[in-house]
Structure 1
């Protein structure tokens, strides 16, 4: 079982280290030291250099003593969204939160704390374990950059558990969508807005016509779409000759995703043409989705681990992407597990220490169950 005092100290230590994306050096040094103390072989890759950050992914491995079992990895990201500087931590009874001026950073430092404590708790029992690998990666919050740049040949585990979603503890994300991003530049023609607007082609107006006709938001239970950025114009007295549009579509159905992207791209091109403008549109696959059932081994192991600590796990369909998308695409079965935090990415973010304890116990249980598979 988790040592609450040690766990709380670890979590608070992590929260005090500011680590926005591409600035994870402090967290990387902290976890490398802790993992070395726990008997892991620890290395850091060159992802930081390749993405313009100050730290790389931390990859740690501890060979097991069990004669059977499955090698597993436990994964968390070391970065947080902003703002996190000048974080003031408030603890009231069982709840940890910020003072409301910044996020807390429980996403994903609660996961890191749970992994470190869960491992230490397990090792203190002197039970046999199978091989354990730890992947603490960088810049997850800005496009899964750490996982995408990780050399997958360094992954020695057979099954993966990404400790990176909120409440409830031990919730198992068994499916997640594929994600396509859309970048469009609408090009019109500039003109003086007061003297000869007739000679202009308004790129913002063409964009507005297109966006107004798009199906956006919640399309169905599997599909979402959004236009998140529209930028254009130079001055209020100039008919704008260009407009940048950034959007996305996600779906757990590949067929629905293709149809939604085609719908958005077609409208951008058609409405631009109607106005006398042109649309230059690019789409990019950000990551591909995955889907498991309770019959898949990675899910069965997580279910058994949760039940051993008295939790009946909830199987969930995800709406966002995570490192698990990247690992599944690389052929390494991986699911996302709940750590217990609430309201991530907002100043209202919080976590109960009792839930953090449960998440640590879940890590300990995962290691124990994997040793006998």
Structure 2
């Protein structure tokens, strides 16, 4: 049923359209035209104004031809950098970039699969309930499109977010919360050669603080990282300010608060030792979620995988996605793998068979919902 040639051509066409975060409009315009040609209704929301993108989120509506639970499929339009002038290549049974950029399978493989599924539904008059397809902006820079989505615009009672690496059939049911940290350490400037003893080296203070922090993998559900350090003006000036940016993630709410507070305390205590000052800003970027195998959305995803001969694998994740936001807003959502590998690198690739499997999985989910087969088992 899947038109393999059309699917591959669609994917290649999508990744050639630049759509780095906050610059999704060219891709959005392309998709709007495609979707309207299919005779579907859509709206573009006003999230663009809030996140300073040149496009809003796209919400596509496919009215059902039977009375079943309304569902949503979601993918994001933006990509990370280097994501401009992508040149996709078929390398045997996989698709790669030319090695100068990412490929953009994250998340355009999902968009290509959704478009192909829509073609198949139309061509074969496949029974289905109400379906919404949400294409978000600015996912890669903090889930900003999803955060600024008015969830009341959706009819869906559950969501399937197509945005995970690994083989099709992997289902993410648990994901962490994330706190971001911005740490500023204030020292005192002085001439580094003439009178360094009169200064307080903010970079040195930061170094001592970092050496006392527990960073990296803390346990199976908790990580922390300081990823950016900036400070200093010249080699002959004792630096009076340094800024560190980092994060703490955990699937356990007590642990994320514990280790965030630990970093804050270490920073403040170290600054006092050196007679410096520290300011620590903490922001909750997103909240975690934890769905059980018995939750309806997980049950449907599991049944749909089995129905097409895939082995469902329920997994936790160490990363966040739009599903974190949807779950927090009251829309139960799982993340589904679509076969993309080495994402966010110039070695990113996807197997053609995984692209095809993703289309079949989408159609299988639609079929399970439309049939109403023991959805609450």
In structure 1, how many angstroms separate the alpha carbons of the residues matched to 2:29 and 2:301?
A: 29
1:82 maps to what in 2?
Answer: 81
Q: What's the offset of the Cα at 1:368? A: 1.1
SS in 1 for 2:214: coil
1:365 maps to what in 2?
Answer: 364
In structure 2, how many angstroms separate the alpha carbons of the residues matched to 1:89 and 1:137?
A: 23
In structure 1, how many angstroms separate the alpha carbons of the residues matched to 2:173 and 2:83?
A: 30
After superposition, give the CA deviation of every residue in 1:32-77 in whole Å (9 maximum; x if it has no partner): 122223332111112122222111100111221113x211100000
In structure 2, how many angstroms separate the alpha carbons of the residues matched to 1:253 and 1:92?
A: 42
Instruction: Indicate whether 1:184 and 2:183 are aligned.
Output: yes
Aligned residue pairs total 372
For structure 1, the 5+ residue unaligned runs are none
Q: What's the offset of the Cα at 1:152? A: 1.1
1:51 maps to what in 2?
Answer: 51
SS in 1 for 2:324: helix
Query: Where in structure 2 are the equivalents of 1:263-342 lying within 5 Å?
Result: 263-342=262-341
Give the alignment's TM-score, normalised by structure 2.
0.97
SS in 2 for 1:66: coil
Contact 1:189–1:240 under 8 Å retained in 2: yes
SS in 2 for 1:237: coil
In structure 1, how many angstroms separate the alpha carbons of the residues matched to 2:322 and 2:257?
A: 22
For structure 2, the 5+ residue unaligned runs are 373-377
In structure 1, how many angstroms separate the alpha carbons of the residues matched to 2:299 and 2:114?
A: 20
Query: Where in structure 2 are the equivalents of 1:1-373 lying within 5 Å?
Result: 1-67=1-67, 69-373=68-372
Q: What's the offset of the Cα at 1:174? A: 0.5
Q: What's the offset of the Cα at 1:85? A: 2.0
In structure 1, how many angstroms separate the alpha carbons of the residues matched to 2:124 and 2:87?
A: 36
Give the alignment's TM-score, normalised by structure 1.
0.98
Q: What's the offset of the Cα at 1:145? A: 0.7
After superposition, give the CA deviation of every residue in 1:225-258 in whole Å (9 maximum; x if it has no partner): 0001111111111111111010100000001111
Contact 1:119–1:364 under 8 Å retained in 2: no
In structure 2, how many angstroms separate the alpha carbons of the residues matched to 1:65 and 1:73?
A: 16
SS in 2 for 1:341: strand
In structure 1, how many angstroms separate the alpha carbons of the residues matched to 2:341 and 2:141?
A: 20
The CA RMSD over aligned residues, in Å, is 1.0
Q: What's the offset of the Cα at 1:30? A: 1.8
SS in 2 for 1:13: helix
In structure 2, how many angstroms separate the alpha carbons of the residues matched to 1:317 and 1:122?
A: 32
Contact 1:177–1:252 under 8 Å retained in 2: yes
Contact 1:324–1:334 under 8 Å retained in 2: yes
In structure 1, how many angstroms separate the alpha carbons of the residues matched to 2:122 and 2:176?
A: 36
SS in 2 for 1:340: strand
SS in 2 for 1:300: helix
In structure 1, how many angstroms separate the alpha carbons of the residues matched to 2:133 and 2:348?
A: 26
Q: What's the offset of the Cα at 1:4? A: 0.6
In structure 2, how many angstroms separate the alpha carbons of the residues matched to 1:242 and 1:155?
A: 47
Q: What's the offset of the Cα at 1:122? A: 2.8
In structure 1, how many angstroms separate the alpha carbons of the residues matched to 2:103 and 2:123?
A: 30
SS in 1 for 2:74: strand
SS in 2 for 1:141: coil
